[in-house]
Amino acid sequence: MKTALRRFISVPTVVVLAVLLTVSAPLWLVASLLVDGYRAGRGKPGAVWRLWLCALVYAWTSVFGLIWLGASWVISLGGLRSRYLVESAYRAQSWWAHTLYRGLLKAFNLRVVIEGADHITPGPVVVLIRHVSILDTLLPLNIVTSQHGVRLRYVLKDELRFDPALDICGSRLPNYFVDRDTTNSATEIEGIVGLAKGLDDHSGVIIYPEGRLATPAARKRAAERALARAPELASLIDGFHNVIAPRPAGTLALLDATDCDVLVMGHIGFDRMVGVRSLFDAALPGSTVKVSFSRVPRSQIPSPATTRWLYQVWADLDTWVDRAKLSLSDPGTPPTV
């Protein structure tokens, strides 16, 4: 879809959504009293009011983000003051991510525990992160960027452009939206590799090697695809129980285009936040999100980077997820965000 048409649809849609969620608050209150009252009688936490609150925060954060982005475009004289436009977009991105992140943590009383934060700096780094929920995109912005000052260039799926604030802000910054349905993979890889240009001590590139959410169905399909392409790696692929087999082309091309260390970002806790139905999970409120960072020095990465190396990194990440699940009940945990 053309950019102008997409935004002509997406911008009014999110504004209408914000207004409807606001004016329908009394209806949500009634629904919450009925549904959440019934759930409370069965010892389950409220869900309807959390669903409404999260949707409301998202919608109005998007609306105010669009106002911010529109105002900065005017102040920059239609983009002529390009440096101002980019800096303003970075600030808008940080505000947007922080607001959504804090709203989510408050709504569900989530506790975030981080280990290995000392590995984040210095840049430049290539960040490899597992993908289990659309919400895990908030973690790097709030931890790597906001807390440690490393500005990240994102490899994102093209479908995210239907979020108007992300579409406009993301297009002003050095990110790349990947068309996963294209038949011209060389063009997409070239776009990913282009993010490696001009990195410094306070920047990095982040990519989701799996390319999609790590659902059981996706894990099965990814394993079949990986085994067909690299049967010699069967022992690694068959061991993926929490992660899914990465799509190596973009990640390896990015690594070969840089001389950066690799920062591996693991996390658990957002696994159960996939789709609206998951918000009714009684175990979700008050749960813990655990995030881990480990750094792979450039000297330990083969040149050129290989699929075997990437799959071994992912096997180690899978093992970490297993350990993290067992450790969440341990009271002796690292600092909380």
pLDDT of 337 strictly over 60: no
Mean pLDDT value across residues 140-155: 97
DSSP 8-state symbol, 179 = -
Q: Which tens digit of pLDDT belongs to each residue from 227-286?
A: 999 999 999 999 999 999 999 999 999 999 999 999 999 999 998 888 788 888 888 999
Q: Which tens digit of pLDDT belongs to each residue from 87-141?
A: 999 999 999 999 999 999 999 999 999 999 999 999 999 999 999 998 899 999 9
Give pLDDT, residue 273: 84
Q: Give the pTM.
A: 0.92
Q: Per the omega criterion (within 30 degrees of 0), is the bond before 124 cis?
A: yes
| Burial zone of 212 (CB within 10 Å; 0-12 exposed, 13-18 middle, 19+ buried) | middle
Q: Which tens digit of pLDDT belongs to each residue from 173-216?
A: 999 999 987 877 899 999 999 999 999 999 999 999 998 888 88
Return the number of other C-beta atoms located less than 10 Å from residue 191's C-beta.
16
Return the number of other C-beta atoms located less than 10 Å from residue 303's C-beta.
10
DSSP 8-state symbol, 142 = I
pLDDT of 170 strictly over 60: yes
Mean pLDDT value across residues 300-312: 96
Task: Write down all domains in the chain, each with its CATH number in brackets.
Answer: 3-327 (3.40.1130)
Beta bridge partners of 114: 291
Give pLDDT, residue 214: 81
Give pLDDT, residue 84: 97
SS (H, E, C) 246-276: CCHHHHHHHHHCCCCEEEEEEEECHHHCCCH
User: Are the CB atoms for 269 and 110 separated by under 8 Å?
Assistant: yes
Give pLDDT, residue 1: 75
pLDDT of 330 strictly over 60: no
For residues 142 and 262, what is the distance between their CA atoms, to the nearest angstrom?
A: 19
Instruction: State how beta strands 261-268 and 288-296 pair.
Output: antiparallel
User: Are the CB atoms for 245 and 221 separated by under 8 Å?
Assistant: no
Give pLDDT, residue 329: 61
Place of tokens 């993908």: 131
Give pLDDT, residue 134: 86
Give pLDDT, residue 272: 80
Buried-state track 309-333, b at ≥16 Cβ within 10 A, e below 16: bbbebbbebbebbeebeeeeeeeee
Mean model confidence pLDDT for the chain: 93
For residues 230 and 244, what is the distance between their CA atoms, to the nearest angstrom?
A: 15
Q: What is the DSSP string of 66-134?
A: HHHHHHHHHHTTTTTSHHHHHHHHHHHHHHHHHHHHHHHHHHHT-EEEEE-GGGS-SS-EEEEE--S-G
